[in-house]
Structure formats: structure tokens, C-alpha cells
Amino acid sequence: MSEDEQRPINDSRAYELVKSLRVSFNSGKTRSYAWRAFQLKGIIRMMDEKEEEIMNALHADLSKPRLESFVHEISLAKSTCSLALKELQQWMKPEKVSSILTAFPSSAEILPEPLGVVLIISAWNYPFLLAIDPVIGAIAAGNSVVLKPSEIAPSTSALFARLLPKYIDNSCIKVVEGTVPETTALLEHKWDKILYTGNAKVGRIIMAAAAKHLTPIVLELGGKCPVVVDSNVDLKVASKRIVVGKWGSNNGQACIAPDYIITTKSFAPQLVDALKISLKSFYGENPMQSEDLSRIVNSNHFARIIRLLDDEKISGKIIHGGERDEKLLKIAPTLLLDVPDDSLIMQEEIFGPLLPIVTVDNIEESIDLINSKPKPLSAYLFTKNKKLEEKFVRAVSAGGLLINDTIMHFANPNLPFGGVGESGIGAYHGKFSFDAFSHRKAVLHRSFGGEVSARYPPYTAQKQKF
């Protein structure tokens, strides 16, 4: 990177940046299969050669366990990139569609074309994956790209700024580091698409900035992901999958981590016992010392989570955990039972290691309870009851649903990943990423044949006999 590129971006530099990327894009070079494939291969090479550095950056930012860094971030990004590389020629092909009789003879096709110059603003909790995954989609679709990684994960952000230019075409793909002023400067300008990952408050700022230029957006937001646990389950398996989905996902700092459990009053004691057993077997007697749990990302987020925990509306509701260490930014895996709906913990996304359990008389009430709240990014159900499963799948509105497990749907590239309502707009992953950064151009081809005089004025009485 040149010295100029290392300076914080301001409005005039942002202008120059977008202008230069538009020149590169307009040169047409990002459109070829060869250019796209070369960049994707470069990203795979970067992940192969710099795996250790990526892991170290993730550890510095979040003390993320190595296994989680590899499985949840690097390996997922590698498979995204390999899939794009494998399928790219197919994805780029025009799709033939049938024509209509009134336009006979003609042929019709849908041609995917790149949108142009796109901006990707990513979040801190999976700072490697959430940045590189959409970049892969944007490159596959043939765009010029600016990536703005999250400043809350500074080691990973710096790593991107240092590494990416060595592996990809830096005239078309740039990394801009920065905080609110730098992002605001970027947002002043016209982009052809913005993909933002983060909270809904900033999502509204992104949407307002995009509206000025009629820029289309993908907003990957969050929310409170419910887990419904019926009494008709394999409790041992269910509790392991809930615990690993909550605390094994960045210690609850994941957009699709279970946020709260809904179960019946009568089943709650058994469920609580099973969760405690799984917690103990995964993280030992003293989870505050476990190396298999990420820390809270910073003191602001630590204070935010402690505020939820110290809300007097939930006093006496902690049934497991609750320990905290401000210096080490650690909070123990914590279970709470029967928290009131108007408590902070039930009003805000938790995004941390607290898991409240809400009880109902009848498990079917869980559906109305979920639907009475803003639409979540993911909703989970554990049951062997097929009728309940069917009802849940049809009645619950969420970005995605997963039955009898947690978080696994994220890794399936054949499923679109995105929210609905308050949890987001648009989706990506696999081919959906390519589509998110493409325009599906409608093309109708005709010859000069097939003339029908009835089409043309004057509209004589004879022509109007229909």
C-alpha cells in the first residue's frame, strides 16, 4: 500500500477513491472470467499462506479459540471461495427463458451483469469471515470493491489492509480502515451497492445515505433469535447443540446465537439441568478460566452486557453463572429463568453469554410469542413432534429457521442467508452472493421479421375487432 493509501480517508480522498475505482471498472477488466477467477484464487492463496496470521489476529481481537477461528471463519471462507471458483462459469452464463407469441420470432435471456463499484462494511464479531465472504461474492459478480472492516476488531482490520493488496488486483479492490468519520466519508458518495453487516441503528444510517443516490443495499442485521424447546426431544443432544450454538459461537457474540429459550413451565427444570451438564462438560467447573470461550470484545460491550445482567427487573432470576471479570473482559455462561418480558434482557439483543429462559403453559404459545416481537434473524425449534415442526415452519417469520439444531444453516451455501423485517434486507451466501452483486439484465432479441400490421396506428375499426 502506498503512503497515501495509509492515511485516514476523508471526503476528498473518498471521492478520489470512488472515482479511480469507477475508471477501473469502466475499463471492463473486472468483467472477464479470467480476472474474477484470478482474484478468487488469490484470496484462497492468502488464506492458505497466512492462516496462522489470520488466527493470531482473531485471537488478538477476541481471544477466539483456534478451532472456532478455523472452522467458523477461515474454513467457511475457503469453501465459499472454492464454490464460487467452481461454479463461476455456470453463474455467469445467460439464462435462456421462453419468449412470447406476440413477439414471434424472438428469443429472450437474462444476463447477469456486474453492478459496478460496491462498498462492503463489515462487523467485528466474525471479523474475517463477515468481511471476506461478501468480497468474494462481489468479485465473483465482476465488481470493483471497497472493503471497510470493523475498527472494533483492529488486528483483523489491519491484517486485511496489509494482506489483501498483496493477493488481489489493488486497482479494483481496496481496503479502507476507519471508524465513523471515515465510513461517513465513504457513504457520501455514489455506490452501486452497499452491503452492511452490523446493528439496526447504524443500518438505518446506511439506508438513509444510500437513499440519496438510490443505491441498493443489503443489510445484514441481528435481533433476538429464539430457541423453542418442546418436551418431546432428545434432551441430551438438544442441550449440547444449544450450548455450542450459544457459547461455542464466539461466546454468544454471534448474530445467530440463541438469544433466549422458550419452553414449558413443566419441562423447564429438566432442560435447565441438561444445559448445566453440557456447560460443565464443555467448559469445566470454572468457565472463567476456559480457553474455549472468547472474551467480550471490548469494555463498551462488557458494560452493555453487565447492564442487562444488573437490571433490577431480573434480580433473583440468575440460576447459573453470573460471574464477571472486568479486567479480563470475561462473563461466565449465565442462565436465567422466568425473566419478565419488559426486562432489558428481553427487550434488547443480548449478543453475549447470557441465556434467559422464558416459560409458557403450552409449547404452541411460543409461536405467538415469537411473532409478537420483531422478526428474528434465525429461529430454532427442538422437537420430535412433526405436527409442531410443520406449524412452526409455516407460522414463524424469521430470516431462517433450523429444526433440532442451532447455527448450522449458516454454513449451507444452498440456503440464502439474510434477515427479514428488523433483522435485515436481502441475503447472500453461495450463488445468492453472486446474485446480490449482479443485475439480472433482461434481453429480448428480435429480427426484422414477424411484422403484424395490427400493431401500428391508425387503429382502424377493423383492427379494433377483438
Binding interface with ligand NAD (CB under 6 A): 121-125, 130, 148, 150-152, 179-180, 183-184, 197-199, 202, 205, 220-222, 255, 349, 351, 377, 419, 424
Closest residue to ligand NAD using C-beta atoms: 222
Cα 301 off chain centre by? 20
48-62 burial: b if 16+ Cβ within 10 Å, else e: eebeeebbbbbeebb
Considering beta carbons, is residue 182 or 230 the nearer one to ligand NAD? Answer: 182
Considering beta carbons, is residue 378 or 438 the nearer one to ligand NAD? Answer: 378
Calpha distance 77→418 (Å, rounded)? 17
Does 188 participate in catalysis according to the annotation?
no
CB atoms near residue 310 (< 10 Å) = 12
- Are 80 and 417 in contact by the 8 Å Cβ rule? The answer is no
Least separation in angstroms between residue 248's CB and ligand NAD is: 16
Closest CA to 426 of 218, 129, 196, 166: 218
Least separation in angstroms between residue 423's CB and ligand NAD is: 7
Least separation in angstroms between residue 295's CB and ligand NAD is: 15
Considering beta carbons, is residue 116 or 198 the nearer one to ligand NAD? Answer: 198
Calpha distance 366→450 (Å, rounded)? 60
Considering beta carbons, is residue 197 or 264 the nearer one to ligand NAD? Answer: 197
Cross-strand partners of 400? 378
Least separation in angstroms between residue 259's CB and ligand NAD is: 9
Least separation in angstroms between residue 115's CB and ligand NAD is: 20
Single out the catalytic residue among 68, 81, 255, 349: 255
Q: Which residue has the cell 434465525?
A: 378
Considering beta carbons, is residue 69 or 122 the nearer one to ligand NAD? Answer: 122
Does 220 participate in catalysis according to the annotation?
yes
Least separation in angstroms between residue 160's CB and ligand NAD is: 12
Least separation in angstroms between residue 201's CB and ligand NAD is: 8
Considering beta carbons, is residue 120 or 388 the nearer one to ligand NAD? Answer: 120
Least separation in angstroms between residue 361's CB and ligand NAD is: 30
Over the chain, what HEC string results? Answer: CCHHHHCCCCHHHHHHHHHHHHHHHHCCHHHCHHHHHHHHHHHHHHHHHCHHHHHHHHHHHHCCCHHHHHHHHHHHHHHHHHHHHHHHHHHHCCEEECCCHHHCCEEEEEEEEECCEEEEECCCCCCCHHHHHHHHHHHHCCCEEEEECCCCCHHHHHHHHHHHHHHCCCCCEEECCCCHHHHHHHHCCCCCEEEEECCHHHHHHHHHHHHHCCCCEEEECCCCCEEEECCCCCHHHHHHHHHHHHCCCHHHCCCCCCCEEEEECCCHHHHHHHHHHHHHHHHCCCHHHCCCCCCCCCHHHHHHHHHHHCCHHHCCCEEECCCEECCCCEECCEEEECCCCCCHHHHCCCCCCEEEEEEECCCCHHHHHHHCCCCCCEEEEECCCHHHHHHHHHHCCCCEEEECCCCHHHHCCCCCECCCHHHEECCECHHHHHHHCEEEEEEEEECCCCCCHHHCCCCCCCCCCC
Least separation in angstroms between residue 67's CB and ligand NAD is: 20
Considering beta carbons, is residue 36 or 72 the nearer one to ligand NAD? Answer: 72
Single out the catalytic residue among 73, 177, 182, 220: 220
- Which residues carry out catalysis? 220, 255
